[in-house]
Structure 1
């Protein structure tokens, strides 16, 4: 079991914080866009949004936003407090993220990657999941503003799982898993569920924990408000 990262309350210099934050947004958006465009399995939250998009008249962008609002509600419930600053940060991140994923997915669908051989597409899809996990690790440690779904994972991680990123990821994935099941009851089909989804379910939390140690190791968890 992983322990709370050493030095998790250390504050990093503002310039580096901004750098880390923007790097994490780019990695997360690109990773999600890769998995959506390749259609070989997305991370659970994104896969849930894709399946709901087929079961409802709502677009992928709107469903990604609605997932975020659900996660915000769960965060308020678990923390037993309404933190306006935290929620505002969640909303800012969520809108930027939804827009970027939608835009990058459309752009990638116009490239040659969709015609790559199966082995190459599986590799890129799993790479997308790894990029997502690395991004989550970085901006959870920066902890200026978070996507509400990743904020939920962080709340579960440090409030209920003693810092264990793998356990926290599995618990947070239970919510999109229910959404996928409900969508399947309507459409009788599964979308964006494939090798990448299994890879995400098994390894995303683990990669987050490893990225904490090896990607920008001087960056520690800070500003935890639990």
Structure 2
């Protein structure tokens, strides 16, 4: 149990850093993060607050998919989501001190893709531990194991329909996009693959638990 808790903390840090890196570079974030960034501009709200509100909405969606209010699971979602939301926002602000936005295109793109890979790695670890999950990743996990026969790639693509819709609505209203670029395309096409590869090669003895 202690080992699972340590791995959970490590995975949250990896995922938070990956998300913050993509936000700071503005070359394309993972789709859920990109949708939150666009909503933060639309409503002129702090990114951490938007991530929190978005997470609450997904918690309710998860309950609908499960056909029940699993209060233990929902509490775990909240316990994960609150520190994670503000950790991403805080690290993103901290990274601006290093002026990474001023890097030339090639190293910026490489760093952005590394950020997306870190997100996939973090998700893989804490989904396998399955103590508590971010509601977005719980959403993908529910789709993956209850509806899509364990296929991480298909589950990621289906789960992305919601943030893509949010981004599209924000674009129609604002006529501008933030945090949507090459990294977003990489996340859309390969995040499920990054999760599946991390399942296989990162902490290989760690299997999916508590499903």
TM-score (norm 2): 0.98
Richer in helix (by share): 2
Unaligned runs of 5+ in 2: none
Which residue number corresponds to residue 154 of structure 1? 141
Structure 1 SS opposite 2:58: helix
Unaligned runs of 5+ in 1: 1-13
Which residue number corresponds to residue 5 of structure 1? none
Which residue number corresponds to residue 117 of structure 1? 104
Structure 2 matches for 1:103-142, cutoff 5 A? 103-142=90-129
Which residue number corresponds to residue 94 of structure 1? 81
- Could you tell me how far apart the structure 2 residues matched to 1:209 and 1:91 are? 25
TM-score (norm 1): 0.92
Between 126-135 and 107-116, the greater mean CA deviation after superposition: 107-116
Number of aligned residue pairs: give it: 211
Shift of 1:125: 0.4
Structure 2 SS opposite 1:191: coil
Which residue number corresponds to residue 172 of structure 1? 159
Between 138-147 and 114-123, the greater mean CA deviation after superposition: 114-123
Q: Of the candidates 182, 195, 206, which is equivalent to residue 208 of structure 1?
A: 195
- CA-based RMSD of the aligned residues comes to 0.8
- Could you tell me how far apart the structure 2 residues matched to 1:97 and 1:131 are? 15
Shift of 1:76: 0.2
4+ residue stretches of structure 1 with deviation over 3 A? none
Which residue number corresponds to residue 21 of structure 2? 34
